Amino acid sequence: MCVALPGIVESIEGNDAVVNFSGNKVRAALGFVEPKIGERVLVHAGYIMQIISESEADELQGLLSEIEELI
């Protein structure tokens, strides 16, 4: 039960933000992290649980470099 999706913060108003998931705009509560407008965040059950610190591609590249050492 951990459906959480990455989206982009579009606007912030008080305790809530509007997060854009490829054109779908959903309200999400703030309170645990302080994202800026335009940042990628992870949203679960209507709240923003984390700011995503690197792009999908960069993270994968990083992981592939790390596991090289295991060969």
Partner 1 sequence: MEEQISMLHGSGGSATSKLIETVFAEAFGDTYVNDMDDAAVLRGNERIAVTTDSFVVTPVFYPGGDIGRLCVCGSVNDLLSRGAVPKYLTVAFVIEEGARISELKKAASSIALTVREAGVKIACGDTKVIEGSGGFMINTTGIGFVEKDTDISARGARPKDHIIVSGSLGDHHACILSQRLEVSNSITSDNAPLTEMAAKLKKLKVHSIRDITRGGLATVLYELAASSGKRFIINEADLPVSEEVRGFCGIMGLDPLYMGNEGKLVCIVDEADSEEALCAIRESKYGEAARDIGVVEEADEGELFVITSIGGRRRLYPLADEGLPRIC
Partner 2 sequence: MTIDSVKAFLKEYDGEDMRIMEVCGSHTAAIASCGIRDMLSDRIHLISGPGCPVCVTPSSYIDKLIELSLKPGYCVVTFGDIMRVPGSRESLLDARSRGAEVVMVYSPLDCIDIAEKSPEKIFVFAAVGFETTAPVYAQLIDRVIKAGIENIHILTAIKTMPAVIGRIMENGAPIDGFLAPGHVSVITGYDAFSDIARVYAIPFVVAGFTGERLLVALFDLVKNRGRGLVKNDYPSVVTREGNLKAKELTDKYFKPCGAVWRGLGKIKGSGLILREEYSHLDEGSVFLDEDIKLNKACICDRVLTGSKNPAECPLFGRGCTPSSPQGACMVSREGSCFTHFVNDIRGK
Contact between 4 and partner 2 per CB under 8 A: yes
Position among 11, 25, 32, 37 found at the interface with partner 2 (CB under 8 A): 32
- Tell me how crowded residue 48 is: count the other CB atoms within 10 A of its CB: 24
Cα–Cα distance, 33 to 9 (Å, whole number): 12
Tally the residues of the chain.
71
Tokens, residue 10: 């579009």
Tokens, residue 32: 């645990």
Contact pattern from residue 12 through residue 51 relative to partner 1, giving x for each residue in contact according to CB under 8 A and a dash for the rest: ---------xxxxxx------------------x------
Q: Which is nearer to partner 2, 10 or 56 (CB)?
A: 56
Summarize as ranges the residues that interact with partner 1 (CB under 8 A). Answer: 1-3, 5, 7, 21-26, 45
